[in-house]
């Protein structure tokens, strides 16, 4: 089978991508900023149902520097470029996100080109597709791009949009080699493989452990990480994925208060602290200048973005789990691993 470089091997999505690649018989080389995390990644892969002792190796490389990327890509048939910063709070300077996302993507693409890689699959985001358009009845598709001129677009959507556009420009200007396919997930939930997981699952964690007493009036699409990993594999191997973007979304978007309701229905007393009421928008906006997390949320209040998964279904035969399955799998893993210790509602 093929040898595949997976960047950011310690990440939530990357861990599941490594699992599906190994299960499909591919050899995987995972990049890490520090090789000291290799044992953690092996444990995560083992928890996901794959054997890390057969076909998994590691290389040290950081998106913020050139060192290591040529060696990382050498001898690889494919690259899964999953690594990218995902903050829970907005940075003081948006370049803290934009620069590593854009420059890191270009570093990986140059290394892939020089190594003769066949195809790069880039993990972008729905944040590069559907932001800056307010509430829109028509579902977003892969033909849409985030409007960077809109004040609703914060540092993270900017970083993902700029990085993805830079990737497409690179492929066009470099003559189309290697091939490029892009996966654009919405908020990613699902089973956490280890206690160090970050990303969107922190929303579920905060609901279960009582840190989110009230839910902001904020909506988003959901997708299970196992389905995101499956889509990455399909985008890597299917000839029809060449030069295409694919939105990864399970179905209709949900308000955050409805996510809390699903948790209470699924876990009962263990989810007693999940919010039952929404915090008024005016309070969020009042506090936003003083609370970094709320500053990031405020422009998104009241917006519910619908997205279509028709392209991934019809072109690649992708079939995702439901929103409820993704939410339940997240809560189950967090509780089982002891990542969250439920508190009584109060």
Q: Report CA-CA distances (Å) from 251 to 126, 219, 223, 259, 306.
A: 13, 13, 8, 14, 8
Residue 24's pLDDT is 97
Query: Residue 130 belongs to what domain range?
Result: 3-195+220-253+306-321
Residue 276 domain flag: no
Residue 222's pLDDT is 98
Residue 331 domain flag: no
Residue 207 domain flag: no
Residue 155's pLDDT is 87
- Distance, in Å, from the CA atom of 231 to the CA atom of 318, rounded to the nearest integer, reads 7
Residue 293 domain flag: no
Residue 262 domain flag: no
As for how many domains the chain has, the answer is 1
CB-CB contact of 247 with 184 (8 Å): yes
Query: Could you tell me which residues are beta bridge partners of residue 307?
Result: 140
- pLDDT per residue, tens digit, the chain (346 aa), is 899 999 999 999 999 999 999 999 999 999 999 999 999 999 999 999 999 999 999 999 999 999 999 999 999 999 999 987 665 555 567 887 888 899 999 999 999 999 999 999 999 999 999 999 988 989 999 999 999 999 889 888 999 999 999 999 999 998 668 999 999 999 999 999 987 666 789 999 999 999 899 999 999 999 999 999 999 999 999 999 999 999 999 999 999 999 999 999 999 999 999 999 999 999 999 998 888 788 888 888 999 999 999 999 999 999 999 999 999 999 999 999 888 876 655 5
Quote the distance between the C-alpha of residue 118 and its chain's center.
23
Residue 229's pLDDT is 98
Residue 92's pLDDT is 64
Give the torsion sign (CA, 216, 10, 226, 147): positive
- Distance, in Å, from the CA atom of 211 to the CA atom of 300, rounded to the nearest integer, reads 20
Residue 197's pLDDT is 65
Q: Which residues are catalytic?
A: 160
CB-CB contact of 241 with 318 (8 Å): no
CB-CB contact of 107 with 90 (8 Å): no
CB-CB contact of 104 with 64 (8 Å): yes
Q: Read off the pTM.
A: 0.94
Tokens 């399909």 found at:
234
Residue 204 domain flag: no
The gap between the terminal CA atoms of the chain, to the nearest Å, is 55
Residue 10 domain flag: yes
Residue 177's pLDDT is 80
Residue 95's pLDDT is 84
Does residue 244 have a cis bond before it (omega within 30 degrees)?
A: no
Tokens 């109060």 found at:
346
Residue 326 domain flag: no
Q: Residue 34 maps to which CATH number?
A: 3.40.50.720
């Amino acid at each position: 089978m093929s040898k595949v470089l997976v960047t950011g091997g310690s990440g939530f999505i990357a861990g599941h991508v490594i699992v599906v690649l190994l299960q499909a018989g591919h050899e995987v080389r995972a990049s890490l900023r520090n090789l000291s995390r290799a044992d953690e990644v092996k444990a995560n892969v083992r928890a996901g149902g794959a054997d890390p002792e057969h076909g998994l190796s590691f290389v040290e490389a950081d998106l913020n520097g050139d060192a290591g990327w040529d060696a990382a890509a050498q001898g690889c048939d494919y690259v899964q470029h999953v690594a990218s910063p995902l903050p829970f709070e907005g940075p003081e300077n948006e370049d803290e996100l934009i620069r590593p996302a854009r420059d890191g993507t270009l570093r990986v693409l140059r290394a892939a080109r020089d190594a003769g890689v066949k195809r790069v699959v880039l993990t972008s985001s729905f944040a590069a597709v559907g932001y800056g358009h307010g509430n829109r009845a028509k579902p977003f598709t892969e033909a849409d791009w985030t409007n960077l001129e809109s004040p609703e677009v914060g540092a993270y959507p900017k970083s993902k949009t700029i990085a993805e556009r830079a990737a497409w420009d690179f492929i066009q200007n470099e003559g189309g080699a290697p091939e490029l396919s892009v996966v654009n997930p919405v908020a990613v939930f699902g089973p956490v493989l280890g206690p160090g997981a970050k990303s969107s699952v922190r929303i579920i964690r905060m609901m279960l452990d009582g840190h989110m007493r009230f839910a902001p009036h904020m909506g988003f699409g959901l997708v299970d990480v196992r389905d995101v990993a499956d889509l990455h594999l399909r985008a890597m191997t299917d000839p029809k994925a060449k030069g295409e973007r694919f939105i990864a979304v399970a179905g209709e978007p949900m308000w955050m208060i409805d996510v809390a309701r699903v948790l209470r229905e699924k876990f009962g007393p263990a989810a007693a602290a999940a919010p039952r009421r929404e915090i008024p928008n005016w309070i969020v906006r009042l506090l936003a200048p003083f609370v970094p997390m709320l500053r990031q949320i405020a422009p998104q209040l009241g917006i519910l973005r619908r997205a279509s998964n028709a392209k991934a279904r019809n072109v690649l035969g992708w079939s995702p789990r439901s929103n409820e399955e993704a939410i339940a799998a997240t809560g189950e893993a967090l509780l089982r691993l002891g990542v969250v210790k439920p508190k009584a509602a109060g």
